[in-house]
Amino acid sequence: MSLLHTIPFRHAIKLNIYNALIKSSLLYGSETWRLTENNKRRVEATEMDALRRSSRISRKERIRNLTIRQQIGLEETIIKEIEQNQLTWYGHVQRMAEGRYPK
């Protein structure tokens, strides 16, 4: 994490690092999670912490999360991506034969 907030990279490079390292770690196994409100809050907080650190924006500056997302160039939240992954997984499970283990 220190690489993102110590070296002044361009936003495009930071976004690539975010997608490759942080987002992939946050999304690992998310297809099978039970997404409660508490879990949503925690995942969103972790994501925004990473985005704020990479942009060198402190919570004390009182800049809204939406503004930070727009500056970086992210359109969707990680929760929408988790929900999409869960729907994709549900479709796979529905197409599986009845004897398969995940069913």
Q: How high is the pLDDT of residue 10? A: 75
Mean pLDDT of 77-102: 90
Q: Over the stretch 32-85, which tens digit does the pLDDT of each residue have?
A: 999 999 999 999 999 999 999 888 899 999 999 999 999 888 888 999 999 999
Residue type, 55: S
What is the distance between the alpha carbons of residues 88 and 103, in angstroms, rounded to a whole number? 15
Backbone φ, ψ for residue 12 (5° rounding): -65, -40
Q: What is the DSSP letter of 7?
A: S
Residue spans per domain, the chain:
2-95
Q: Is the pLDDT at 1 greater than 60, yes or no? A: no
Higher-confidence residue of 65 and 13: namely: 65
Q: How high is the pLDDT of residue 37? A: 96
Cα end-to-end distance, the chain, whole Å: 38
What is the distance between the alpha carbons of residues 51 and 33, in angstroms, rounded to a whole number? 23
pTM of structure? 0.77
Residue pointed to by tokens 């770690």 = 25
